[in-house]
Amino acid sequence: MHDILFLTELVGLKVHDLRGRGIGRVKDAAIVPLIDVNRVDRFLIGGGLAWFSIRHDQVRSIDLDGIHLSDEKLTPYHADEYMLRIVRDLLDQQIIDAEGRKVVRVTDLTFRVRHHHGHPTLNVEEIDIGLRSIFRRLVQGALPRRWVRVLQQPIPPHSIDWAKCNILEADPMRRLRLNISNRLLEEMHPADLAEIVEELGPDDREAIFSTIDAEMAAETLSEVDPGIQASILESLDTEKAAEIVEEMSPDEAADALTELERETAGEILEEMEREDGEGVRELLGFKRDTAGGLMNTEYVTLPHQAVVGDALAALRRDEDLLESLNTLFLVDERERLTGVVPLARLLLQESATPLVSLAAETAISVHVTEHQDRVAELFDKYNLLCLPVVGEHGVICGVITADDIISLLRNE
């Protein structure tokens, strides 16, 4: 006897009482995740008309020939909300493979048999998804279990570690009772999670976005296809949606909101904190295919006379921005753009050096109403990483970065 057992082998296994009489066959097995996320807690047995359930510690032995019980107590089965029933709730359903970053369909499960206080327990070890498990499912019940084990050998196995699987459950109450967290998803890269989310149905999408933390949700949502973005935001309650949109960068937030119905977008804006809401509102006023529609409002400006020391102090105040920032802008007393300073040039300077001396020779900028094609041309022509956007009288009002242009070109 190997120390593993497949679900396809467990289902239909004969159950014997103390005197060795057959009393029924295994129909399903249940985990109670609040107690133990791996161990099969109950076996559901069908014999005659009714189903009954057997606790894991009532089992004396378990192998390919059957299950032998260690006592006579049989409890009638009744639906229990704390049970995750493997055949009903997991088999043939979609789950997320957090390590492989894919949505997969459960074809079979592998249990490891462990001995615990003198009785054997089944512990879910892997989710099986490949051809080998399909073969087992197809011949299940038609061929003897031992033959199947031999015959499957030439087919390569394909399984996923149970610890790396994230179960999908759309009902929030059930998620609590079954102790399903989306912790594994929060550890993924937002771009990977976005791809997964796109593959799922609307209910599962909503469930994921309402449970993961707002920052991760915002980063993920920014990566999702615009149409799906809108349907996700619409499905969430306004409060949660506002919380997520707040965490997005203003230009991405504005893009997401323009896809929504006017009314829904308005409600979300109402719900947002004033400061964030206003930035987004401003951007919403621009046409989508213009520089104004492309730009975001996350940039740092400094007075024309400022020195390197001032710049460093300003950056310390705005640490959130650092990750994506590569340029500083110099402005006069009326906020008109006067110079562009590449951030990297600060590195080698004394703190008293005036920023003007570090500015690029020509300050290229673009007007808010300029068409996006022209903006892309400028990026290409001058090899830009970012491009300031100016409004009336040359007042700076936003910045377009290279990643905006990449998404623009890819969408074309």
- Which 55-94 residues touch another protein, going by CB under 8 A? 92-94
Strand partners, 400: 387
CB of 171 to another protein, least distance (A): 10
Site for another protein in 221-250 (CB under 8 A): 225, 227-228, 231, 234
Which CB, 125 or 204, lies closer to another protein? 204
Q: Which is nearer to another protein, 142 or 352 (CB)?
A: 142
Q: For another protein, give the closer residue by CB, 89 or 278.
A: 89
Considering the rule CB under 8 A, would residue 406 count as an interface residue with another protein?
no
As a whole number of angstroms, the distance between CA 164 and CA 97 comes to 6
Q: Which of residues 107-126 bind another protein (CB under 8 A)?
A: 107
Identified binder of another protein from the candidate list 3, 34, 72, 105, rule CB under 8 A: 105
CB of 233: closest distance to another protein in angstroms?
11
Q: How far is C-alpha 261 from the geometric centre of its chain's CA atoms?
A: 25
Query: Cα separation of 235 and 122, whole Å?
Result: 39
Q: Which of 4, 64, 104, 143 binds another protein (CB under 8 A)?
A: 104
For residues 145 and 43, the answer to whether their CB atoms sit within 8 Å is no
Window contacting another protein (CB under 8 A); options: 134-142, 146-154, 343-351, 385-393:
134-142
Gyration radius (Cα) of the chain, Å: 30
Among 12, 144, 172, 201, binds another protein (CB under 8 A): 201
Cα–Cα distance for residue pair 336/14, rounded to 1 Å: 83
Residue 134 binds another protein (CB under 8 A): yes
Residue by residue, DSSP assigns 69-125 as ESS---EEP---TT-EEIIIIITT-EEEETTTTEEEE--EEEEEEEEETTEEEEEEE
Which residue from 158, 187, 160, 6 is spatially nearest to 95, judged by alpha carbons? 160
Number of residues that bind another protein (CB under 8 A): 23
Q: In what side-by-side order are the strands of the sheet with 396-401?
A: 366-367, 386-390, 396-401
Binding site for another protein (CB under 8 A): 92-94, 102, 104-105, 107, 129, 134, 137-138, 198, 200-205, 225, 227-228, 231, 234
